[in-house]
Amino acid sequence: MRPIRLPEPPSPTRGMPEIFEGGAYNVIRRAVVIGNGSPGSENQSVGLLRALGLSDKHVLYRVTRPRGGINEWLLWLPVGFHKKLDYLIRLIRIYSRGKKLAPLPSENGGNGSVGLASILEADVKGIVTMARETYEKDGPLLVVASGRDTISVASSIRRLASENVFVIQIQHPRSQLNRFDLVITPRHDFYPLTRQAQEQVPRFLHRWITPREPPDRHVALTLGALHQIDSAALRSAAAAWHDEFAPLPKPLLVVNIGWPTSNCRYGADLAKQLTASLLSILTSCGTVRISFSSRTPEKVSKIIVKELADNPKVYIWDGQESNPQMGHLAWADAFVITADSVSLISEACSTGKPVYVMGADRCKWKLSDFHKSLRERGVVRPFTGSEDIAESWSYPPLNDTAEAASRVREALSEQNKETKKGKAPLLVSSPRAAVEPQPKRGFKKGLAIFDFLLRLCATGAALGAAATVGTAQQTLPFFTQFFQFQAQYNDLPTLVFFLIAMAIVSGYLILSMPFSIICIIRPYATTPRLILVIFDTAMAGLAIASGSAVAAIMYLAHNGNSNTNWLPICQQFGNFCQAVSGAVVGSFITGTLLLLILILSAFILKRSS
């Protein structure tokens, strides 16, 4: 058996590091992790604290979203607004049944990502109060957050207690980086700024793709994702999993299979390709251990299990026993990993052992840039099925977490020096924010409120037009009551089209209300505004087109056409024609209001650029 060679971090940290120099109040003694329930995101935050020597000196808070039912369709909403909306919906439901609404819980169940049974719900006021009250005794509070749902909480903590906290946001927050003291993000998050990315996107969309600016001095770049894997963790795992892995025939190949993502799509075809490649290299392997993610598609896992489960060299983890990932990292001689998972690849590349990637050619956008960087550095190779696993190759292991921790120490020391000199903290704002004054928030909020009011008016006009046409009906007796003429909307295909079109416009306007409310709450948010502009344009065209079609029919109904001997039927069906004409006016009012909303949105977006 070959010895296990474990990489040493560039600057190992033992004990409690005094990150600031000089003064007991400037020592970082404790930290707060703000997670979002995702094991991958929370693992990055805990990994950074481990590298800083604070692994046993932190408290985990979690930002949770309501789940189940309609909430699964509302995950695009800001987490704070989503919670309030869910609370209102539950309030209406429960009080309509004559029951009392239970208060929102202050704890939420953990999912096992960090080994806690219950985790405190992230409360901005509570964390800020704790940071202020304990500052004299314990010094500054280090706040580490990761994931989209944690952005608003972390930025609010820094805004309310900037003198008592140092806030780190892991993963790019997309805009307004000056809301944080330090942002730690992979280099490929800035891929949209490259020439290759700019060529893939239409020019008129360039200004809406984030990030819009290159990294500045309070952005720390990594190659991959942060994690908890270091030499001490691997040695501990090697000892813990010794009895299970030591007797296995060598070399040991570990295969990790993830799940398709928007930037890396694959299915049964990749599973068949992977299976064929594994069968072709089995002769050079002593043992093959395969692990699936909990989100691996069933069609992918079934193909692999069917072809390989009966092979005596292959072991497939069923997800029922303890997760062997740490044992795999410590004892494996080589890895094969699907290209979708940045976290799994980053962890494997921190061992210095051969890493083969499957499916990198299917990745696009920034994920393709990540794999390109790894290949250029010699860290990974594509898995083709012609490899000899017994032949080992190596590379300088990735130490992104240790390097990020060093960058944190530098930023903290530099900020402390600036504070001692009586200057403004180094990382309070970006250079651009220091030069350009922010526009008044109230003005944009007023425009957003006006947008919401226009939508309410347009919704009323569209609903009125649809209801008027749908209910318009007139019956004329002819000679006797047994022989009658009747007019209603489904007699003419144009009126049927009009009813459907206005129903679609009405439904869209109702669904657009939450986006409009988001723009009121967050006046500088451009993404929801851009989404509204795209759909507002389509709905304005639909409303005006349907109204114009019915207007032409109504002109003939009122005036007739002597050349074709078409009679003006509105002379007989006056009430019906009057109702339809009113609906046409309503559709034009809707279209006009939507055009006004588009002009208003264009003005707001122009001021945001």
* pLDDT one-digit tens code per residue, 193-202: 888 888 888 7
Kindly indicate the confidence band of residue 565, based on its pLDDT and cuts at 50, 70 and 90: low
Kindly indicate the confidence band of residue 103, based on its pLDDT and cuts at 50, 70 and 90: low
**What letter represents residue 392's amino acid?**
S
Whether 47 and 186 map to the same domain: the answer is yes
311: left (phi over 0), alpha (psi -120 to 50) or beta: beta
Q: Are strands 118-121 and 219-222 parallel, antiparallel or unpaired?
A: unpaired
Kindly indicate the confidence band of residue 418, based on its pLDDT and cuts at 50, 70 and 90: low
Considering only residues 176 and 460, tell me which one the structure prediction assigns the higher pLDDT: 460
Say yes or no to pLDDT of 430 above 50: no
Say yes or no to pLDDT of 139 above 70: yes
* Pairwise CA distance, residues 78 & 523, whole Å: 13
Whether 381 and 285 map to the same domain: the answer is yes
Read off the pLDDT of each residue in 455-479 and give the average, rounded to a whole number.
82
Residue 13 lies in a domain: no
Say yes or no to pLDDT of 224 above 70: yes
Residue 311 sits in a domain of what CATH number?
Answer: 3.40.50.2000
Output the pLDDT for position 172.
87
Integer CA distances (angstroms), 196 to 366, 380, 388, 419, 468, in order:
10, 22, 35, 41, 53
Whether 173 and 217 map to the same domain: the answer is yes
Residue 283 lies in a domain: yes
Residue 17 lies in a domain: no
The whole-model pTM stands at 0.69
- Name the least confident of 320-334, 336-350, 574-588: 574-588
227: left (phi over 0), alpha (psi -120 to 50) or beta: beta
Structure tokens given for 64: 């949770």
Say yes or no to pLDDT of 182 above 90: yes
Residue 219 lies in a domain: yes
Spatial neighbors of 98 by CB under 8 A, at least 6 apart, are none
Output the pLDDT for position 608.
62
User: Residue 63, Cβ neighbours under 10 Å: how many?
Assistant: 24
Output the pLDDT for position 477.
60
pLDDT tens, residue by residue, 511-540 = 998 888 888 877 777 778 888 888 999 999
Say yes or no to pLDDT of 469 above 60: yes
> Order of strands across the sheet with 219-222?
107-109, 118-121, 58-62, 30-35, 141-146, 165-170, 182-186, 219-222
Output the pLDDT for position 515.
84
Q: Which of 106, 121, 136 is the last residue of a domain?
A: 121
Output the pLDDT for position 522.
75
Read off the pLDDT of each residue in 139-147 and give the average, rounded to a whole number.
92
CA 565 to chain centre: 62
Whether 360 and 255 map to the same domain: the answer is yes
Structure tokens given for 472: 């318009």
Q: Are 118 and 110 in contact (CB under 8 A)?
A: yes
Domain encompassing residue 182: 25-60+124-223+398-427
Output the pLDDT for position 112.
40
Output the pLDDT for position 211.
79
Spatial neighbors of 259 by CB under 8 A, at least 6 apart, are 293, 295, 296, 297, 340
Say yes or no to pLDDT of 494 above 80: yes
Q: Are 9 and 231 in contact (CB under 8 A)?
A: yes
Mean pLDDT score across all residues of the chain: 82
**What letter represents residue 172's amino acid?**
H
Whether 358 and 298 map to the same domain: the answer is yes
Whether 243 and 354 map to the same domain: the answer is yes
Residue 555 lies in a domain: yes
DSSP labels, 446-504 = HHHHHHHHHHHHHHHHHHHHHHHHHH-EEEEEESEEEEEEEEEGGGSHHHHHHHHHHHH
Whether 478 and 358 map to the same domain: the answer is no
Output the pLDDT for position 129.
93
Please name which of 129, 122, 153, 158 lies closest in space to residue 142, comparing C-alpha atoms. 158
pLDDT tens, residue by residue, 544-562 = 999 999 888 888 877 777 7
Output the pLDDT for position 269.
92
Read off the pLDDT of each residue in 349-365 and give the average, rounded to a whole number.
93
Whether 140 and 31 map to the same domain: the answer is yes
Whether 95 and 117 map to the same domain: the answer is yes
Output the pLDDT for position 363.
92
Residue 92 lies in a domain: yes
Q: Tell me which range, 168-172, 422-426, 517-521, is most confidently predicted by mean pLDDT.
A: 168-172
Output the pLDDT for position 575.
81
Q: Which of 103, 121, 139 is the last residue of a domain?
A: 121
For the chain, the straight-line distance linking the first and the last C-alpha, in angstroms and rounded, comes to 61
Say yes or no to pLDDT of 73 above 90: no
Residue 435 lies in a domain: no
Measured at the CA of 158, the angle between CA 153 and CA 163, to 5 degrees, comes to 155
- Looking at the structure of the chain, the number of domains it has is 4
* Pairwise CA distance, residues 308 & 281, whole Å: 13
Considering only residues 108 and 605, tell me which one the structure prediction assigns the higher pLDDT: 605
Say yes or no to pLDDT of 425 above 90: no
Output the pLDDT for position 475.
67
- Name the least confident of 455-464, 517-526, 597-606: 517-526
Read off the pLDDT of each residue in 42-68 and give the average, rounded to a whole number.
90
Whether 143 and 206 map to the same domain: the answer is yes
Q: Is the peptide bond before 251 cis (omega within 30 degrees of 0)?
A: yes
* Pairwise CA distance, residues 182 & 354, whole Å: 33
Which helix (H) or strand (E) segment is 358 a member of?
strand 355-358
Residue 239 lies in a domain: yes
Say yes or no to pLDDT of 100 above 60: no
Considering only residues 554 and 245, tell me which one the structure prediction assigns the higher pLDDT: 245
User: φ, ψ for residue 165 (rounded to 5)?
Assistant: -135, 160
Whether 193 and 314 map to the same domain: the answer is no
Output the pLDDT for position 578.
85
Kindly indicate the confidence band of residue 278, based on its pLDDT and cuts at 50, 70 and 90: very high
Whether 368 and 261 map to the same domain: the answer is yes
* Pairwise CA distance, residues 8 & 235, whole Å: 11
